[in-house]
């Protein structure tokens, strides 16, 4: 097969900063191509140019050998190129067929009324053609995360794209959902589609792709056939050094110390009055990492919000070092010795428009070493920033610039440096490496293990099973707002854990709905 899409010398500059530097990329027709690289390497910028979101500063894009210019995503789609973003763009209250046809509704002849039956028929045929396990009439809010991913793909397939770009498609999927997605992508490939996947997960690169391109500092540093490379080689190309790909917690305590953090019968309701946590109870002991595994949307987010003062518990209690901290505000929790790595770094952890220095003291404005007589000591703030940047190896382009200009990994390390730099006794780490490249992931894992080794306690919430299995001393599983099981990471597998997360228990060789 020849090349279906190419870039020649493609360059994108933002002022004096070069995000993509003369990128030469070739994607063969009907292949699955993976694009890998560290955060800030330029992957998303490149894909956004291919999809018409950004315009190149120089260079050109060739589609089937002919130069093409995409002025918008709609323009790219009209040329047969579609993109599925990491964060789904679906309307939960609408049905599958309504989401697929949103903006391209089928109308009854001679009217402005939607032909619902025809929409159901068309989308059902599309589902059958590509062998997706979906019901065209199901509400999106009632289907699994993996099924929602398929709805996003169907939106593009209905618009007859030949090239499908997928940005971190497995970020929130269980192992079983990943397997189903890969089966779907291979079926699309068999039916003539070309697929480009942006991912951090090298195991999935090796399993899924035909070829892989590595981008570092805005440049292509290698393009290889997947069969001719390895995870270790790709990691070294991405980071420029050898990287530990699988975290190992080799110091699991033989016996648990005293409970540092206790949750008892915790429940809460959401803004619609629906109970989303049902009598949750667990303990975290000193010198222990307790992992919470679960498919997103099963109460983990609400649990963390209640524990960190962002939601109110309707019943139950939360105890830290013998003191009742139920429904306390975040600043009070920090004063009690809690550190918080939030689920969404820019929503809850950082102010993207403020400087790195300002973010390094966020939530700690009352610290007497930086605030004297009610006034912030700028010199002390800058000294703390410089200390944290050095200690946690945080790399910034413009030290006075906004934290939002940092790569995902470095932005995440600002949060970790700020939280651990306050000498807490208990850490809540929620999705600590989400959207973070393998180099920064290794560093973050080391910091969490170092914190625990010092005798502190960690509550780890992650949708990355390798992270949960590698870091945790014990694992509890959440499903539908409840704790549904506890396992030892050394005595279980990612497959078994994935089944528990999906609400399926294995009993005597049979799968039983939990």
Residuewise pLDDT in 10s, the chain (514 residues): 699 999 999 999 988 889 999 999 999 999 999 999 877 788 888 999 999 999 999 999 999 999 999 999 999 999 999 998 877 889 999 999 999 999 889 999 888 899 999 999 999 999 998 888 899 999 998 888 788 889 999 999 999 999 999 988 886 676 777 888 899 999 999 999 999 999 878 888 999 999 999 998 899 999 999 999 998 888 888 877 665 556 666 666 656 778 999 999 999 998 888 899 999 999 999 999 999 998 777 889 899 999 999 999 999 999 999 999 999 998 899 989 999 998 888 888 899 899 999 999 998 888 888 888 888 899 999 999 999 998 888 878 788 989 988 877 788 889 999 999 888 999 999 989 876 777 778 888 989 999 999 999 999 998 778 889 889 999 999 988 999 889 998 888 878 887 888 777 643 344 434 3
Strand order in the sheet with 482-487: 338-341, 426-430, 457-461, 289-293, 474-479, 482-487
Strand bridging mode 323-324 / 259-269: unpaired
Report the SS3 class of residue 125: helix
Q: Residues 84, 39, 303, CA angle at the centre, nearest 5°?
A: 70
Q: What are phi and psi of 313, to 5 degrees?
A: -70, 135
Total Cβ atoms within 10 A of residue 226 = 19
Both tokens of residue 65? Answer: 């050998």
Q: Which residues pair with 14 in a beta bridge?
A: 17
3-state SS class at 207: helix
Where b means 16+ CB within 10 Å and e means fewer, 80-104 reads bbbbbeeebebeeeebbbbbbbeee
Distance CA 451, CA 198 (A): 32
Please report, in angstroms and rounded to a whole number, the separation of the first and last CA atoms in the chain.
Answer: 47
DSSP H or E run through 35: strand 32-36
CB-count exposure of residue 13 (10 Å: 0-12, 13-18, 19+): middle
Query: How remote is the C-alpha of 321 from its chain's centroid?
Result: 32
Tokens 């689920």 found at: 343
Closest residue by Cα to residue 46 from 75, 24, 17: 24
34 sits in which H/E element: strand 32-36
The DSSP symbol for 108 reads P
Specify the pLDDT at position 235.
Answer: 85
Beta carbons of 342 and 348 less than 8 angstroms apart:
yes
CA 276 to chain centre: 22
Between CA 444 and CA 308, with CA 403 as vertex, the angle to 5 degrees is 60
CA pair distance 99, 294, nearest whole angstrom: 26
Strand order in the sheet with 315-320: 275-285, 259-269, 315-320, 323-324
Contact, 270 vs 302, CB < 8 A?
Answer: yes
Please name the residue that has the structure tokens 């570092």.
Answer: 216
- How confident is the model at residue 510, as a pLDDT? 40
pLDDT of residue 507: 35
Cβ-proximal residues to 282 (8 Å cutoff; 6+ apart), any chain: 262, 263, 290, 476, 483
Report whether 52 contacts 72 (CB < 8 A).
Answer: yes
Name the token pair of 110.
Answer: 């001679």
Q: Phi and psi dihedrals of 4, rounded to 5?
A: -90, -35
Helix (H, G, I), strand (E, B) or coil at 135: coil
Tell me the pTM: 0.68
> Which segments of 437-503 are extended strands (E)?
457-461, 474-479, 482-487
**pLDDT at residue 242 in the model:** 64
Predicted local distance difference test score (pLDDT) of residue 514: 38
Q: Which residues pair with 198 in a beta bridge?
A: 35, 167
* Beta carbons of 78 and 163 less than 8 angstroms apart: no
What burial letters (b/e) apply to 266-304, b meaning 16+ CB within 10 Å?
A: bbbeeeeeeebbeebebbbbbbbbbbbbbbbbbbbbbbb
Sheet strand arrangement including 66-68: 17-28, 3-14, 58-63, 66-68
Q: In whole angstroms, give the CA distance from residue 69 to residue 75.
A: 9
Q: How far is Cα 477 from Cα 291, in angstroms, rounded to an integer?
A: 8
């Amino acid at each position: 097969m020849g090349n279906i899409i190419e870039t020649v010398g493609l360059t994108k500059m933002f002022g004096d900063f070069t995000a993509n530097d003369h990128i030469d990329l070739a994607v063969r027709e009907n292949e699955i191509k993976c694009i890998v690289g560290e955060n800030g390497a330029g992957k998303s910028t490149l894909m956004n140019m291919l999809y018409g979101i950004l315009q190149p500063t120089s260079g050109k894009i060739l589609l089937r050998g002919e130069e093409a210019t995409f002025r918008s995503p709609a323009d790219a789609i009209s040329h047969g190129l579609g993109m599925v973003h990491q964060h789904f763009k679906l309307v939960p209250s609408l049905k599958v067929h309504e989401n697929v046809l949103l903006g391209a509704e089928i109308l009854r002849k001679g009217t402005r009324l939607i032909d619902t039956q025809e929409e159901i028929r068309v989308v059902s045929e599309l589902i059958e053609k590509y062998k997706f396990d979906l019901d065209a009439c199901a509400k999106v809010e009632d289907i699994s995360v993996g099924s929602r991913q398929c709805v996003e793909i169907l939106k593009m397939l209905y618009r007859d794209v030949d090239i499908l770009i997928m940005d971190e498609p497995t970020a929130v999927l269980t192992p079983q959902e990943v397997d189903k997605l890969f089966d779907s992508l291979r079926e699309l490939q068999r039916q003539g589609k070309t697929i480009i996947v942006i991912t951090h997960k090298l195991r999935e690169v090796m399993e899924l792709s035909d070829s892989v391109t590595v981008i570092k500092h805005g440049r292509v540093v290698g393009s290889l056939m997947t069969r001719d490379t390895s995870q270790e080689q790709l990691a070294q190309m991405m980071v420029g050094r050898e990287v530990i790909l699988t975290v190992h917690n080799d110091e699991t305590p033989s016996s648990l110390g005293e409970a540092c953090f206790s949750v008892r019968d915790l429940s809460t309701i959401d803004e619609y009055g629906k109970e989303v946590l049902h009598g949750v109870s667990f303990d975290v002991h000193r010198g222990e990492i307790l992992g919470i595994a679960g498919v997103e949307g099963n109460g983990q987010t609400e649990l963390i919000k209640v524990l960190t003062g962002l939601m109110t518990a309707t019943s139950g209690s939360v105890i830290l070092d013998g003191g009742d901290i139920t429904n306390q505000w975040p600043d009070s929790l920090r004063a009690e010795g809690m550190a918080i790595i939030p689920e969404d770094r820019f929503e809850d952890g950082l102010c993207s428009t403020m400087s790195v220095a300002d973010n390094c003291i966020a939530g700690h404005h009352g610290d007497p070493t930086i605030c004297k007589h009610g006034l912030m000591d700028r010199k002390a703030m800058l000294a703390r920033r410089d200390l944290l940047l050095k200690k946690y190896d945080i790399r910034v382009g413009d030290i006075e610039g906004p934290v939002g200009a940092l790569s995902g990994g470095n932005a995440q390390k600002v949060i970790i440096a700020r939280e651990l730099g306050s000498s807490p006794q208990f850490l809540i780490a929620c999705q600590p490496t989400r959207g973070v490249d393998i180099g920064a992931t290794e560093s973050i894992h080391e910091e969490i293990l170092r914190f625990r080794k010092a005798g502190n306690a960690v509550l780890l919430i992650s949708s990355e099973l390798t992270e949960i299995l590698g870091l945790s001393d014990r694992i509890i599983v959440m499903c539908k707002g409840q704790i549904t099981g506890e396992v030892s990471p050394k005595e279980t597998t990612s497959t078994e854990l994935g089944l528990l997360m999906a609400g399926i228990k294995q009993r005597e060789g049979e799968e039983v709905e939990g």
